[in-house]
Structure 1
């Protein structure tokens, strides 16, 4: 398993990374790797070396392991302090779900050779040992024109991804949640998420009662109150309205499917011939709505719907804009991807994918606070024709009775008529004293 991590100097690392790295014994990693290798090989004697300088990502520390017969593995150590039972549960579900997907599909997921979900091991840290997957992160070459020559065709890459996602979508479930897979019996159960913090990391709610859900609407509706209770705004109330109105009701219920939890180009590895060598980093994999999981568009094809993270602009230089696909190019790639889904599913899944980016964009707005404003402006252009109309609608929501009730109303809803509206309606109609309540 390769990673999207990078080598960093010690002065660039955060304290929690430095603390774990300083506590890691390379000799222990060697012994763990050799012990795991004995389960897969009779070659002997074997030895291995461990890269002294680890790579670091957002949430993991990674060491590369090279055996004396040139086979390569990696050991991945999560950075989470303190390590709790909830962390261990989530890691166990991640691993079991990856094994389930690998056993049921041809998706190139790195094989898992050993793991410990707790600190009760010689390393004194949880870890997972994977295959090393060679290749270059697709994000590093997607906008490199010199890469895409001859057989290196982007359309072929997109078709390969679509093939695996159609395959993944055949694994169907009746609920939304985390998948618990028992290798010994082959049984699967959709269980609750560890907590709502899997989606809203800034919330203090650590309960283990989030889900499972039986509809996309129920899932979305359960996510909204946390954001609104933390800091309510008319923008979030409008987002709630959009989540009720815009998703396609045909795909609200089951079947639900698995999907890559970060379906982006940094998690796809590609070789120099343009072949995909691996889909990596499945932390947080779950069973969810088809339009959010296997049958969504890859997220780098819909980045224009998330303005904060779309770096292309009319004000930027041509050189800077070369690092981003244009809106017309992104629209083209979406058509290519949809055509692949249509062909590979013989038309069965076309409508699921066609406008899946509407739901996935709304969920980004819901779960990523820094992206919410830009997405709401963009959705406003789609729904209302202009972002200025969005601001007017938010202003109207702000003075309405519905917004005043809040996300969890404790009073009976009533229509409150303000003075200006009352005067505009005239005084010759019947009066209703309840309007003052």
Structure 2
């Protein structure tokens, strides 16, 4: 979808209103013609969009993103920015790849978690009654919109490719960045196969002393090489048990025509959700890198701001600053999702599911796997006073009784509601 802007506009027609820079994109907000909201547009340019860095992999991902947004606008009621045009090549009048969108209006949903501008989050767990009502209304509205994605189901895990038909995409490969290197991931029909492939690449079953360069950062420390290897093997075995859980088996309800995978927003966080003065959601942004996913971590999953405590390096210094009340809002969102779709049974526990699913692809794989394994084990009452490092090290040596215990208890823990 290429529009030669130079044929329709002159520099005098365009006024730059604002520029913003993120980790992945440079964004320019412009006004074309008279000062009316309908005349405002967004030009989104990837930071890799230079002659030295731009490659076919980047072009493919950007093309999929642009076409996905218009696909969602056509087949769901989700408020997604309208794509006017895009160009995935550098040789164009702008001199860079871009996506041109109609500007979405609203303010960041962060305003629903802080009572006053500039507040440091100290009272995020104790908001006013008015703020609680705003949050609940917002969460119910978000669940309603995300449940729209139940209309779209797929046979494999991968990225939607619209090159042959913009109305009938096929699930194709996608590109994953590991250590600054682009790695091509082919579509798969098994969620367990997908997770184990990541685990095998980053935390192999035949761990050797060379693999210990990653595990040096584990919280428990490594007393010697053999204990370190055993502990990693224990962590890996627990991850395998987690991936054997029923939530990851990909079985689809009858209503989905047997398709096991659904779309997942890659960064459903407060900064990517806009609301108006009435706290109505006006737009859901940043669909870059969207892939299909197992049902337990797809569109029904909790938004990122309700999952922080399940991921590594969680701190109360990061927004939305919540501690003891986060579970209350998880329940609000989960109950609302269950009202709209059968797969809402996965929502409440999806912070745990998402952490387990993401661990193998983290930069420090062993750190992330150890973090989620420790948090999972702490959910089991019988292990809460156990030295978890020692437990994992013994498991890695071949502790069959403990392994059988974990198969049962983790299986129960990971069951959907």
Deviations for 1:70-117, whole angstroms, at most 9, x for unmatched residues? 221011110125111111111111112222111100111101111110
1:70-89 aligned at under 5 Å gives the runs 70=36, 71-80=39-48, 82-89=53-60
The answer to whether the 8 A contact 2:67-2:166 is kept is: no
CA-based RMSD? 3.2
Q: 1:413 — aligned with what?
A: none
**Structure 1 Cα separation of the partners of residues 91 and 354 of structure 2:** 39
- Structure 1 residues 37, 161: closer, same or farther in 2, change over 3 A? farther
Deviations for 1:254-283, whole angstroms, at most 9, x for unmatched residues? 421112111211211112211111100111
Report deviation, 1:129.
Answer: 0.8
Q: 1:144 — aligned with what?
A: 115
**Structure 2 Cα separation of the partners of residues 378 and 134 of structure 1:** 39
- Structure 1 residues 321, 154: closer, same or farther in 2, change over 3 A? same
- Structure 1 residues 307, 90: closer, same or farther in 2, change over 3 A? closer
Residue 243 of structure 2 corresponds to residue 244 of structure 1: yes
Question: Which residue of the other structure, out of 111, 114, 127, is the alignment partner of 2:98?
Answer: 127
**Structure 2 Cα separation of the partners of residues 34 and 121 of structure 1:** 10
Report deviation, 1:37.
Answer: 7.7
Residue 30 of structure 2 corresponds to residue 62 of structure 1: no
The answer to whether the 8 A contact 2:109-2:270 is kept is: yes
Based on CA coordinates, which of the two structures has the bigger radius of gyration? 1
The answer to whether the 8 A contact 2:108-2:272 is kept is: yes
Q: 1:267 — aligned with what?
A: 272
Q: 1:255 — aligned with what?
A: 260
Listed as ranges, the gaps of 5+ residues in structure 1 are 1-30, 39-44, 313-319, 403-437
The answer to whether the 8 A contact 1:215-1:252 is kept is: no
- Structure 1 residues 242, 159: closer, same or farther in 2, change over 3 A? same
Deviations for 1:124-150, whole angstroms, at most 9, x for unmatched residues? 211111121122221354233689738
The answer to whether the 8 A contact 1:295-1:353 is kept is: yes
Q: TM-score, normalised by structure 2?
A: 0.74
1:323-334 aligned at under 5 Å gives the runs 324-327=321-324, 329-334=325-330
**Structure 2 Cα separation of the partners of residues 277 and 153 of structure 1:** 15
1:217-366 aligned at under 5 Å gives the runs 217-228=192-203, 231=211, 233=215, 234-235=231-232, 236-238=235-237, 240-246=239-245, 248-249=247-248, 251-252=250-251, 254-306=259-311, 308-309=313-314, 311-312=315-316, 324-327=321-324, 329-345=325-341, 348-366=342-360
**Structure 1 Cα separation of the partners of residues 335 and 376 of structure 2:** 25
Deviations for 1:188-220, whole angstroms, at most 9, x for unmatched residues? 2111223xxx1x52164x453x22111211111
Deviations for 1:356-404, whole angstroms, at most 9, x for unmatched residues? 22221112322224561433322221246338543123212454599xx
Residue 158 of structure 2 corresponds to residue 187 of structure 1: no
Report deviation, 1:54.
Answer: 2.3
The answer to whether the 8 A contact 1:171-1:258 is kept is: yes
With 87-96 and 355-364 compared, the bigger mean Cα shift is at 355-364
The answer to whether the 8 A contact 1:224-1:366 is kept is: yes
Residue 63 of structure 2 corresponds to residue 92 of structure 1: yes
Question: Which residue of the other structure, out of 117, 129, 138, is the alignment partner of 1:157?
Answer: 138
**Structure 2 Cα separation of the partners of residues 63 and 35 of structure 1:** 20
Q: TM-score, normalised by structure 1?
A: 0.71
- Structure 1 residues 178, 185: closer, same or farther in 2, change over 3 A? closer
- Structure 1 residues 166, 152: closer, same or farther in 2, change over 3 A? same
State the SS of the aligned residue for 2:161.
Answer: strand
**Structure 2 Cα separation of the partners of residues 37 and 104 of structure 1:** 31
Residue 46 of structure 2 corresponds to residue 47 of structure 1: no
Q: What count of residue pairs does the alignment treat as equivalent?
A: 348
- Structure 1 residues 185, 398: closer, same or farther in 2, change over 3 A? closer
- Structure 1 residues 306, 106: closer, same or farther in 2, change over 3 A? same
